[in-house]
Structure 1
Amino acid sequence: MSAPQTVPGSRRRLVVSGLLLGAGAMGAVDEIVFHQLLHWHHFYDRASGTAGLVSDGLLHAATWSATVAGLALLADLRRRQAFDALAWWGAVLLGAGGFQTWDGVVDHKLLRVHQVRYGVDLTGYDLLWTGGGVLLALVGALLLRRARARPAR
């Protein structure tokens, strides 16, 4: 593949593509693993089982939409030969970590729409989920910074 071209707006599209795909993929992992396979919680656990199922469906629709939009932008970048793998993967990790951190801090602790799991000490779960999100976001930000610091091609 040839070197990425300088196309107006391509850097922004690249970052948005990665953020959308990362957040969408991490949301889908959360939904599939914790909501559907393990049955640990629904997106909204503060109401009846029906409301929980509907909230899971809305979350699934949102994460799938973000994933598809991210992939559409990626296809456009590749077609224009404006794809930069290092920057894109940085944005993907930043998006995934951002979703996970937001979920752990805002959804779990501030809004309390759900917890990772019920009937157990949450300390380990919270540290792993939110800490993992922060770590992913930091690695993504470092990759984006490294990609930006490279000399122009």
Structure 2
Amino acid sequence: MATECNHSACSNRSAYSTRNLWAGLLFGIGLVAFVDETVFHQLFHWHHFYEKSTTDIGLVSDGVFHAFSWFATIGGLFVFADLRRRNALFMLRWYGGVLLGGGWFQLYDGTIQHKLMKIHQIRYVENVFVYDLIWIILAMLMIIIGFSLVVRTRSKQQPGKTISNEHQ
């Protein structure tokens, strides 16, 4: 995608800047949750979403978590498709949102769910600290890179400039 944009595309980007960010956030949350569920729950069998009950309850909790991840991912893609249809898609800002959303979800999962609520751990091993550290570092890297992309792509609207209702 070219860095330059014509007047119409630039106006759409400016008008839909927040929607690009939210589409990326939603997709990023869903994507990271989906990868977590698929890799760590289903393929590696390291844990279930909820470990404080029976294996059956753990499997049901995994199913609910999996459904959440798909709803978030598909919801983000619907907004993405709408932005593309309106010629208002700003990929760099969307990527920033994806990284922010994914990083936020991973940080929330690693700190709140793993440590504060203790509903599961990343892996049940002797030295879980190494896994926790890697999990949190990856989350922070995604957040930092995503935040830098979002700041870099902030729309700078001119004072007094109006946007037609078509673009709201």
Q: Identify the TM-score tier after normalising by the shorter chain.
A: over 0.9
Aligned residues with identical type, % of pairs: 45
- The 5-angstrom pairing of residues 17-28 of structure 1 reads 17-28=23-34
- Which residues of structure 1 form unaligned runs of 5+? none
TM-score w.r.t. structure 2 length? 0.85
Measure, in 1, the Cα distance between the counterparts of 2:71 and 2:20: 17
- Which residues of structure 2 form unaligned runs of 5+? 159-168
Measure, in 1, the Cα distance between the counterparts of 2:11 and 2:72: 25
Shift of 1:151: 8.6
Larger radius of gyration: 2
* Equivalent residue for 1:147, pick from 153, 160, 164: 153
* Equivalent residue for 1:88, pick from 70, 74, 94: 94
Amino acid at match of 2:107: T
What is the aligned-residue RMSD (CA, Å)? 1.9
Residue 41 of structure 1 aligns to a residue whose secondary structure is coil
CA contact (8 A) 1:5 1:81 kept: no
Shift of 1:134: 1.0
Which ranges of 4 or more aligned residues in structure 1 deviate by more than 6 Å?
Answer: 149-152
Matching residue of 2:49: 43
Deviations 1:108-141 (A, max 9, x none): 0010010001132111100000111011011000
Deviations 1:41-62 (A, max 9, x none): 0000010001100110000000
